[in-house]
Amino acid sequence: MPHKKRKPLVAVLDWKTAPSSNSGVDLETKVLGKSARVKYFLTDNESNFSPEILKADALIIWQNANITENTISRLKNCRALIRNGVGYDSVDIDAAARAGIPVCNVPDYGTEEVADHAIALSLALTRQLFALDAEAKKPGWKLVAKDKLRRTSTLTFGVIGLGRIGTATALRAKTLGFQVIFHDPYLPNGTEKAVGIVRTDSLTQLLKQSDVVSIHCPLNEETYYLIAEKELALMKPTAYLVNTARGGIVKKKAVLSALRKGVIAGAGLDVIENEPLKTKAEARTPNLIATCHAAFCSREGMIEMRTTSARIAKQAVQGKPLENVVNGL
C-alpha cells in the first residue's frame, strides 16, 4: 500500500501571557488554502515547544516568542521562520542561516499606524493631554498644566532612525509645524534633501537640540541601551522621549529614574524593556505615558500583516522564492 504523503504544517506561535491574535488562524488558513494545514499554538517560551511545533514546515511568530539556536537546531522540517511584524530581534538569524532556514519579516504593514502613534504620544506630551484630562475631571478648573503647554512651531522634533517608519513620522511632524531633525549614520548624504529635514552630525547633537526625541531604529547589538543615563542627561530638562520601536533601545531603569528626578519632562513609551511594567511603583512614575506595545495595531494593519506572513509561509511550503528574507538566504 503506497505511503500517504504528509501535508505540510504551518504553526502560528502566539504569546500565552498576552496573545496578539484573538481570531485564531482563519485568515492564514484562507491564504494557504490546500497548500498546508495551519495550527495555532499558545506558548510562553521556546522551552515548552511541543513536538508538533518542532516538526512544522514553517513557523509564523508573534511578538515575545523567542527562537534561539537551541530551538533552531531541533526544527525538523522548517523551511521558513516568519516574524509577524517588523522587528526580528527575537530570532537568532545567524543560527537560522547556519541551519539553512530563511528568516522573514513583514516590514511594511504598520508604517502608518506606528508613525501616527508616535505623533499621538508626542502631542499628548507637548500639549499635556493627560494632565489636562485629570484637571478637567476635578471640581473647578485650575489649569495647573498651562505652563507646560508648548507651541509646536517653536519645537524641534528629533528622529532617531530614518527608515520607513522614521520617515513617515518625520513627515507628519513637519506637516504639524515641528522643526524636524534626524540622526541615521547608515543613510547616504542627500537623504535630508529628499525629505526636506535637517541631518545632525551625531546622536549627541540631536539629543541636545531636540524638544521631542522619537526613536525609530531597530534593536540590535549596536542600539541596545542606545538611550541610557548618559544620553538622557544630554537632553533638555523640558524635552520628551518617545519610543515606538523596541523596548531594549531605552534602558528602563534609566528613563524611569530620569522622570522621577526631572532630568527630562516626560516620556511616551509604547515599548518598554522587559515589558510589561512590573510594579505599581513603575506604573506610578510621574510624567510617563505608557501604551501596551500597540502602536502597530489597527484592524487594517493586522489583516495586512497576517496576510503577508501567510503568503510567505505558502511560498515556503511550495518551495518558491520568499519575500522579505533578512538573514541572507
Same domain, 257 and 119: yes
More confident residue, 86 or 327: 327
- Number of Cβ within 10 Å of residue 2's Cβ equals 4
CATH of the domain at 204: 3.40.50.720
Rounded-to-integer distance, Cα 249 and Cα 153, Å: 28
Three-state secondary structure call for residue 214: strand
Q: What is the pLDDT confidence band of residue 64, given thresholds at 50, 70 and 90?
A: low
Same domain, 135 and 189: yes
Same domain, 135 and 268: yes
Provide the pLDDT for residue 243.
98
Same domain, 21 and 147: no
pTM of the complete model: 0.83
Q: What is the pLDDT of residues 251-308, one digit of tens each?
A: 999 999 999 999 999 999 999 999 999 999 999 999 999 999 999 989 999 899 999 9
Provide the pLDDT for residue 43.
86
Active-site annotation holds for 275: yes
Q: What is the pLDDT of residues 117-150, one digit of tens each?
A: 999 999 999 999 999 999 899 888 888 777 889 9
Active-site hit among 183, 246, 273, 306: 246
Same domain, 280 and 187: yes
Q: Are 83 and 107 in contact (CB under 8 A)?
A: no
Provide the pLDDT for residue 265.
97
Active-site annotation holds for 246: yes
Q: Is 281 part of a structural domain of the chain?
A: yes
Provide the pLDDT for residue 62.
87
Rounded-to-integer distance, Cα 131 and Cα 246, Å: 26
As a whole number, mean pLDDT of residues 86-98 equals 92
Q: Is 3 part of a structural domain of the chain?
A: no
Q: What is the pLDDT confidence band of residue 31, given thresholds at 50, 70 and 90?
A: very high
Q: What is the pLDDT confidence band of residue 48, given thresholds at 50, 70 and 90?
A: confident
Same domain, 101 and 122: no
Same domain, 307 and 234: no
Same domain, 88 and 188: no
Q: What is the pLDDT of residues 197-246, one digit of tens each?
A: 999 999 999 999 999 999 999 999 999 999 999 999 999 999 999 999 99
Active-site annotation holds for 3: no
Same domain, 263 and 126: yes
* Mean pLDDT value across the chain: 93
Active-site hit among 79, 199, 275, 306: 275
Provide the pLDDT for residue 327.
95
Provide the pLDDT for residue 19.
66
Residue 320's alpha-carbon distances to 76, 79, 311, 312, in angstroms, are 19, 11, 11, 9
Active-site hit among 293, 300, 311, 323: 293
% of the chain residues with pLDDT over 70:
96
Residue 68's alpha-carbon distances to 32, 39, 72, 95, 210, in angstroms, are 26, 21, 6, 8, 38
